[in-house]
Amino acid sequence: MERKIKIVVIGAGAAGIGFAKALQQYGEQDYLVIEQDAIGSSFARWHTHTHFISPSFTSNQLEMIDLNAVSPDSSPATCTHCEHPHGYDYCQYLQTLAHDAQLKIQEHTTVVDITKLSDDWYHVQLSTGETVITKYVIFALGDFYHPTTGNIKGNEHGIHYRDFDMMQPHMEAEQVIIGGNEAAFDTAIQLAQRGIKTTIYATQNNFNLTESDPSKRLSTYTYERFMQYEALITIKTGYWLTEIQTSSGEYTLHFKNGLTHLITHCPILATGFNINHNPLVQQWFASTEQNVVLDENDGSTLAPNMFMIGPAVHFQDTILCFIYKFRQRFAPIIELIFKREGQVVPPAAHDLYLRNKMFLQV
Amino acid sequence: MERKIKIVVIGAGAAGIGFAKALQQYGEQDYLVIEQDAIGSSFARWHTHTHFISPSFTSNQLEMIDLNAVSPDSSPATCTHCEHPHGYDYCQYLQTLAHDAQLKIQEHTTVVDITKLSDDWYHVQLSTGETVITKYVIFALGDFYHPTTGNIKGNEHGIHYRDFDMMQPHMEAEQVIIGGNEAAFDTAIQLAQRGIKTTIYATQNNFNLTESDPSKRLSTYTYERFMQYEALITIKTGYWLTEIQTSSGEYTLHFKNGLTHLITHCPILATGFNINHNPLVQQWFASTEQNVVLDENDGSTLAPNMFMIGPAVHFQDTILCFIYKFRQRFAPIIELIFKREGQVVPPAAHDLYLRNKMFLQV
């Protein structure tokens, strides 16, 4: 079976669902979202006590929409009754939104391969054996599936934040966490809530930044939780981990500053995620060590009509890794596609996204 | 001493400070803010454990500004490190903002009287004995000084939420609260935190509203706190208090539905505030029982060049009683004044307020 579909969206997370909803609001019905697991499933896999650091607020009044909403007419706060939704709550929000809007989504289906046909169409091979011929491919991939431990020698002796079981019984008295961002502090706070001491080794203390950008500075939500447990959390700044050595069940951490730390259990690496590890991204996008390289329309620089949306997108110098940031780049891409297709942009949809500050353009 | 000042702003709370800052950003220096107490002092008088129900978030990036900011370039989250600032924190934020911007504010000065001069100027009499001749009067009054207990017969036997000392020792085991809005639930939650049971009598349970407007529906922040203590809080809906009778130290509450409740201590009246009780407002603005009557520019319908800003303002059918709502009406009034004065609106200032969704116009 071979279907012809104008727009294929890969991934039904926050970006994919928001983009599909926007397509629908622009009156575009010729699309399909392909999701390897279930709608919002990455969120459902978050640690049990990990919550959104950006607050959801009940109102979508007067176009001041919920920071965590992916569409102008929905609100996680209203849907979940949580100001800081847990990943599982957020998954419910995305599923409710997709269901209510009857978005076109094919779950439990992996995109196995994409090849370019001669006439500006792409051939998308699915794990179900189906193939789709499409003109536009939207990569709406989260990076949850691609944890990174950077250039640390012996990084296989550490355990990544994502895979560390915070609820495991009989935890050692003290844990060591590498990293200075939200995940490092979230881990330390969750362990502290169980009375477990931690030491955080970080290059800098992001609480002290004068930046107001929460992609860099730690959030107020984290700061306030941290302050409750600061007696249990030691922060050592100026430490850049270069190597983990292990011998007889002990681990030696080597830092760039020449110092070492010997511990009896493996360090927790809160060292982030990297979308560049995704094979489809590697195939269709150029990249630097950390970032996907995109043109000014968030398009691939290697192939036409392929776009990246979601947390991997940058806008000028700004990291768009929060929902309230990256949701602003759905509508401009849709309008670009309309332009390329010679379709008329519906003024009401344009106005809806513009008014709601979901239309960020150069 | 008689000064001639183009614009007089009465009140240095959230609205007055935000308006003065906007005037400065529009390049208008011929203004003075008159404050009867100190900058933000009403906020400092909030109950010790009462917090903003709208969350402050660290970022003012990409024009997604802090919901509780009064100007595009400031953030209570950054300033106070609180996601839900306490009134005292918020007062600090306003004072810091006013100080850093060197806004023109005269504290500890009451406007005693305003009279109209023949030539479109107003004569403003101050408690210091000074007089100011001004062309525009901006009422930036909060309603904290004007608690209301509505049309309840015997309302003098109740105590208003604002004046109830929640921290008093030896509190009776159970308290009765009248009202179904944020203040009622805030009181119940604060008492529950001390183990004190309460019964809330309300006309309706605002948790159940399908409205997304937080001016009507109770906030997620309140909902979450309530859920922690629901065992201690009884909500009785369908109760409209008409009379409080007292005899031999006992209080009988009479409700419209014919039911009564006998208690041994006075009820707490979380029945709101009403700006119409302010004598200057009474003098210069028409009013309905609950609201000030304004023209489409938030101007007085009784006198030219007098404007109302802040939580008392409505926009069409929307109540602007949150900071993120009413801050949108500063710049349009300033531009109207510029137009009336034949002054050129600086494009950069207009753009700043427009981009930041601080420019709500018909």
The CA distances from residue B62 to A167, B66, B82, in Å, are: 37, 11, 21
Relative orientation angle of helices A14-25 and A347-355, to the nearest 10 degrees: 140
- For residue B312, the distance in angstroms to the closest alpha carbon of chain A comes to 17
| CB contact (8 A) between residue B57 and residue A59 | no
Segment A178-190 shows an average pLDDT of 92
Tokens for B67? 């919901």
Question: Residue B62: which of A56, A63, A360 has the nearest Cβ?
Answer: A360
- For residue A83, the distance in angstroms to the closest alpha carbon of chain B comes to 6
Question: Residue A220: which of B54, B77, B325 has the nearest Cβ?
Answer: B77
Closest chain B residue to the Cα of A213, Cα to Cα: B59
- Count Cβ–Cβ pairs < 8 Å, chain A vs chain B: 92
| CB contact (8 A) between residue A64 and residue B60 | no
Segment A21-27 shows an average pLDDT of 98
Query: Closest by alpha carbon to A332, among A304, A305, A358, A300?
Result: A358
3-class secondary-structure state, position B238: coil
Q: What are phi and psi of B326, to 5 degrees?
A: -75, -20
Residues of B in contact with A313 (CB under 8 A): none
pLDDT in tens, A255-306: 999 999 999 889 999 998 888 889 999 999 999 887 899 999 999 999 999 9
User: How many other β-carbons are positioned within 10 Å of the β-carbon of residue B3?
Assistant: 13
Residue A232 pLDDT greater than 90, yes or no: yes
Tokens for B192? 């529950």
Going A110 to A116 to A118 to A120, the CA torsion angle's sign is: positive
pLDDT of residue B190: 93
| CB contact (8 A) between residue B61 and residue A220 | no
**b/e code B201-223 from CB counts within 10 Å (16+ = b):** bbeeebbeeeebbbbebbbbbbb
Least confidently predicted of A33-47, A191-205, A278-292, A311-325: A311-325
How many Å apart are CA A90 and CA B201, to the nearest integer? 34
Segment A297-316 shows an average pLDDT of 91
pLDDT of residue B218: 82
Classify residue A171 by its DSSP letter: -
Segment A204-232 shows an average pLDDT of 80
- For residue A29, the distance in angstroms to the closest alpha carbon of chain B comes to 28
Residue A355 pLDDT greater than 90, yes or no: no
Rg of chain A over all Cα atoms, to the nearest angstrom = 22
| CB contact (8 A) between residue B212 and residue A81 | no
Relative orientation angle of helices B182-192 and B220-229, to the nearest 10 degrees: 30
Question: Residue B59: which of A81, A214, A360 has the nearest Cβ?
Answer: A214
Question: Residue B325: which of A62, A212, A214 has the nearest Cβ?
Answer: A62
Classify residue A263 by its DSSP letter: E
3-class secondary-structure state, position B349: helix
pLDDT in tens, A91-134: 999 999 999 999 999 999 999 999 999 778 999 999 999 999 99
Question: Residue B63: which of A62, A81, A357 has the nearest Cβ?
Answer: A357
Domains of chain A, CATH where assigned: 2-145+273-355 (3.50.50.60), 155-269 (3.50.50.60)
| CB contact (8 A) between residue B78 and residue A212 | yes
| CB contact (8 A) between residue A83 and residue B213 | no
pLDDT of residue B62: 63
Query: Closest by alpha carbon to A142, among A224, A238, A70?
Result: A70
Residue A242 pLDDT greater than 90, yes or no: yes
The distance from CA A320 to its chain's CA centroid, rounded to whole angstroms, is: 10
| CB contact (8 A) between residue A58 and residue B82 | no
Place of tokens 């776009």: A307
User: How many other β-carbons are positioned within 10 Å of the β-carbon of residue B289?
Assistant: 8
pLDDT of residue B296: 93
Residues of A in contact with B332 (CB under 8 A): none
| CB contact (8 A) between residue B81 and residue A223 | yes
Q: Virtual CA dihedral for A292, A294, A299, A300, nearest 10 degrees? A: -60
* DSSP H or E stretch at residue A126: strand A122-126
Residues of A in contact with B357 (CB under 8 A): 63-64, 357
Residues of A in contact with B55 (CB under 8 A): 55, 57, 83
Tokens for A144? 């949850």
Segment A177-200 shows an average pLDDT of 93
| CB contact (8 A) between residue B214 and residue A61 | yes
Q: What percent of chain A has pLDDT over 90?
A: 71
pLDDT band at A149 (very low <50, low <70, confident <90, very high): confident
| CB contact (8 A) between residue A56 and residue B221 | no
Closest chain A residue to the Cα of B80, Cα to Cα: A220
How many Å apart are CA A264 and CA A266, to the nearest integer? 7
pLDDT in 10s for each residue of chain B, 362 residues? 689 999 999 999 999 999 999 999 999 999 999 999 999 999 999 998 999 999 998 766 666 789 999 999 899 998 888 999 999 999 999 999 999 999 999 999 999 999 999 778 999 999 999 999 999 999 999 888 888 888 899 999 999 999 999 888 877 778 999 998 889 999 999 999 999 999 999 988 776 666 666 667 788 899 899 999 999 999 999 999 999 999 998 999 999 999 999 998 899 999 988 888 899 999 999 998 878 999 999 999 999 999 999 988 887 666 677 898 899 999 999 999 999 999 999 999 999 999 888 998 87
How many Å apart are CA B48 and CA B166, to the nearest integer? 9
Residue A62 pLDDT greater than 80, yes or no: no
- For residue B74, the distance in angstroms to the closest alpha carbon of chain A comes to 10
Relative orientation angle of helices B14-25 and B87-100, to the nearest 10 degrees: 20
CB distance B177 to B187 below 8 Å: yes
pLDDT of residue A337: 98
Residues of B in contact with A215 (CB under 8 A): 61
B111 contacts: CB under 8 Å, gap ≥ 6: B10, B34, B36, B124, B125, B126, B127, B280
Q: What percent of chain A has pLDDT over 70?
A: 94
> For residue A158, which amino acid is it?
G
Residues of B in contact with A75 (CB under 8 A): 212
pLDDT of residue B315: 74
Q: Is A4 left (phi over 0), alpha (psi -120 to 50) or beta?
A: beta
pLDDT of residue A33: 98
Classify residue A346 by its DSSP letter: P
B134 contacts: CB under 8 Å, gap ≥ 6: B4, B5, B6, B7, B8, B121, B122, B124
Per the DSSP assignment, residues forming a β-bridge with A32 are A8
Segment A212-225 shows an average pLDDT of 80
What spatial distance separates the first Cα and last Cα of chain B, rounded to whole Å? Answer: 41
pLDDT band at A336 (very low <50, low <70, confident <90, very high): very high
How many Å apart are CA A39 and CA A87, to the nearest integer? 12
3-class secondary-structure state, position A91: helix
